[in-house]
Amino acid sequence: MATQLNGPRLSGPTLVKGARASRTTIALKLGMALSGMVFLGFVLAHMYGNLKAFAGHDAFNEYAEHLREIGEPMLPHGGLLWILRVGLIASLVVHVYCAVVLWRRAAKARTTKYVVKKDTGATRASLMMRWGGVTILVFLVWHLLNFTIVKVNPQGGETNDPYNLMVDTFDVWWLTVIYLVAMLALGAHLHHGIWSAAQTLGWTGTAAKRQRAKVTGFVIALIVSVGFSLVPLGVLAGIITK
């Protein structure tokens, strides 16, 4: 006599729904990984430009003006720069959207206290990524208003000179503190994000590859955090002056 199993049965529609959810989760993770790589490319290029401040007023402003002249006369003055900005904003929107959807799915799937306790490390990393991402997003809005869109000089000085605007901003100690905190958040986000992207893209199949991905994430995060922090610290130390 056959033994009857009393476990839950999965109907055809349920299986299809689960498979579809799995595919969309993979797509969302890919979206996060690829958009994150676009953002990382911009961050590294932006860091290189910022370090021009150590070469002095003229070198920094010439670099800033050169960015606006790229593509002329086919594009208007600053046209390519705005195209790149729009592309960056689009990547950021994709990144944030994928992150929010994945977080909501994970929260919905977390139905018991046992699951939460079982994966405390992963939960802590997830919280750090989430709030680190929010910190970076808020900082980006302030940063764009300060240096690009509105161009607010906290000391009431000129705003059309990129170098002087930068020096006047970082001469205010509490603005520098905000900037440094944001760079710490960016470094932590990159460290975990690069590792997650490597997992999503299938680059962590062996122990050696996993170790390589972790080291790469740490090194890039350290370079970015330190590289961006050097300029405001240089201003406070009196190395970078008007």
CB count, 10 Å around CB of 203? Answer: 15
Cα-based angle 151, 180, 59 (whole degrees, multiple of 5): 55
Closest CA to 222 of 179, 188, 177, 174: 188
pLDDT of residue 15: 42
Specify the amino acid at residue 8: P
Distance (Å, rounded) from C-alpha 15 to C-alpha 22?
11
Round to the nearest angstrom and report the end-to-end CA distance of the chain. Answer: 91
CB count, 10 Å around CB of 205? Answer: 9
CB count, 10 Å around CB of 158? Answer: 11
CB 217 within 8 A of CB 191: yes
Specify the amino acid at residue 129: M
pLDDT of residue 109: 74
pLDDT of residue 21: 58
Distance (Å, rounded) from C-alpha 40 to C-alpha 180?
18
CB count, 10 Å around CB of 26? Answer: 11
What dihedral angle (degrees, nearest 10) is formed by the CA atoms of 145, 150, 156, 162?
80
Q: Which two tokens stand for residue 223?
A: 């370079």
The pLDDT tens digits along the chain (242 residues) read 444 445 445 455 554 455 565 678 899 999 999 999 999 999 999 999 999 999 999 999 999 999 989 888 898 988 888 898 899 999 999 999 999 999 888 878 766 544 445 555 556 777 778 788 889 999 999 998 999 888 889 988 888 999 999 999 999 999 999 999 999 999 999 999 999 999 999 999 999 999 999 999 999 999 999 999 999 999 999 999 99
DSSP, collapsed to helix, strand or coil, labels residue 238 as coil
Domain 27-236: state its class. mainly alpha
